[in-house]
Structure 1
Amino acid sequence: MMQGKLYGIGVGPGDPELLTLKALRLVKECDVIAVPGTAAEESVAYQIVKGAWPEIALKELLPVPMPMTKDPRQLEENHENGARSIEAILQEGKQVAFLTLGDPTVYSTYLYVHKKIQSWGYEVEIVSGITSFCAVAARMNMGLVEKAEPLHVIPASYQIEEALKLPGTKVLMKAGKKLGEVKEQLLSMGAQGVMIENCGMENEKIYHTIEEIPENAGYYSLTIIKE
């Protein structure tokens, strides 16, 4: 019997119209749709695809719990469990589409599962999606980088002081609960920037200056700092 194949599918940042034709085709073709979270229907990635193709509701869904934690043992356990549940479906010869926000190659929890499934000898494929930082720049009608400017993508929930001194454009992702501290650092440096919360979604909020940024903004907030 043929083994199934796992597709890691980037569904873009939030606007269903930013889903690629390839992503949508594979969602339609795959037997099972794996979705990060305990309730598949509540996942943002699922809702994005549903906005473009409501029939996803008729598909077999596999929730893959991915709790937000930095505890290495807990993370390893979650990734192992998620990968095993996907493996069971692949062994039945079914194709699995794992939905992931933005692009699967950028700070995506999907990658942990991808590596495990691949190391166990299954076929895997990553399908690129539009990244949040490109979508935010487009939404603000501005370029990210021009001429010889470098671009730095920084996970803002870690130490970022040194990274903020780098030349060029800085993208701050996944600040989470540290947003208040990040805002203070940016203000003390006199940095210029913009932030969008939930880019392309119904509850989108745009902040044109660092001062405007609320300290309790949601997880899907992205800040762009220009020189």
Structure 2
Amino acid sequence: MQLTVIGVGPGDSELITVKAVRMIKEADIILVPVKKEGSTKSTALDIAKKYIEDMDKVLYLYFPMINLEQNKDYVESIFKKHGENINQQLQEGKKIVYLTLGDPMIYCTFTYISEYFEKVNYIPGIPSFLNGAAISRKPLCIERESMAVVNMTDDEDKIKMVFDIHDSIVVMKVCANQKLLKELINEGKRSVTFLTNIGLDNEYITEDINYLNEKVPYFTIGIVR
């Protein structure tokens, strides 16, 4: 029995590692997180689909996109059920993989259920911001520069502190607080590259700060220099 969490990268199916592809092909069960109960829509699955020879192996796990603290009992009951079901399949000797966007150690849904398992193997994937830096042809940091990754859902004072301290900043979940982000970029007279839906058919890249004037898509990151 084996449980492996696989990072499938930022969007381009050719950016999945060779090891990840092998583990997907060898799996008895392929777990995929979805945002809506009963849904079969998954970006991670779309990326890895070309390497899945039998779609009947795919099982969908519902992870509610709601405030975890305000709905603690409801959410924990779902996570516990996932843990019980997966452990049952592991006890039956199944080889299981769990697919996640980017890298499994960066904002990964699996983290919420990891406590239910004694041993988990992880296969890293290329994070969206590393692919974004390569696409924009701009280094994230050079020489003595420092780099930070900040989430716009975080406390505003913490976000401001990051902008005060670091030379290069990767901004995740841009859509969570666009107003503050625009203020900080303008105040620091910084340059920025926004990358939306990296590696997908509707990929969009711009250096226009006014991109923040309208609601940007969920899969948008910013690279601030």
d(CA) in 2 for partners of 1:135, 1:214: 25
CA 1:90–1:158: 2 relative to 1, 3 Å: same
Distance 1:49 1:197 in 2: 20
Where structure 2 has 5 or more consecutive residues not aligned to the other structure, the ranges are: none
CA RMSD of superposed structures (Å): 1.9
Shift of 1:67: 1.5
- The answer as to 2:51 corresponding to 1:53 is yes
Aligned equivalent of 1:146? 142
1:183 is matched with 182
The offset of 1:24, in angstroms, is 0.7
Is residue 191–residue 207 contact of structure 2 (8 Å, CA) maintained in 1? no
TM-superposed CA distance for 1:75, in Å, is 4.0
Question: Separation in 2 of the partners of 1:183 and 1:79?
Answer: 36
Post-superposition Cα deviations, 1:130-189, rounded to whole Å, max 9, x if no partner, equal: 011100001111111111211101111112222221222111112334234423443344
Instruction: Tell me how far 1:39 sits from its aligned partner.
Output: 5.0
After the TM superposition, which residues 4-153 of structure 1 pair with which residues of structure 2 at under 5 Å, given as runs? 4-37=1-34, 38-39=37-38, 41-50=40-49, 52-53=50-51, 55-57=53-55, 59-72=56-69, 73=72, 74-118=74-118, 123-153=119-149
Aligned twin of 1:197: 196
**CA apart distance, 1:5:** 1.3
Give TM-score, length-normalised by structure 1.
0.87
1:49 maps to a residue whose letter is A
Amino acid at match of 1:144: L
Asked whether the equivalents of residues 8 and 104 of structure 1 are also in contact (C-alpha less than 8 Å), the reply is yes
Q: Which residue of 1 aligns with 2:165?
A: 166
Where 1:145 maps in the other structure, the secondary structure is coil
Find the aligned partners of 2:213 and 2:20 in 1 and give their Cα distance. Answer: 34
1:28-63 Cα shifts (integer Å, max 9, x gaps): 10100000014564100000001x325252x42221
Runs of 4+ in structure 1 off by over 4 angstroms are: none
| Distance in 2 separating the partners of 1:78 and 1:215 | 34
Fraction of identical pairs, as percent = 32
Shift of 1:210: 2.1
Residue 194 of structure 1 and its aligned partner are, at CA, apart by 0.6
The aligned length equals 217
Please give the secondary structure, in 1, of the residue aligned with 2:113: helix
Where in structure 1 are there 5+ consecutive unaligned residues?
Answer: none
TM-score normalized by the length of structure 2: 0.88
Q: 1:75 to 1:165 in 2, by over 3 A?
A: farther
Distance 1:141 1:92, change over 3 A: same
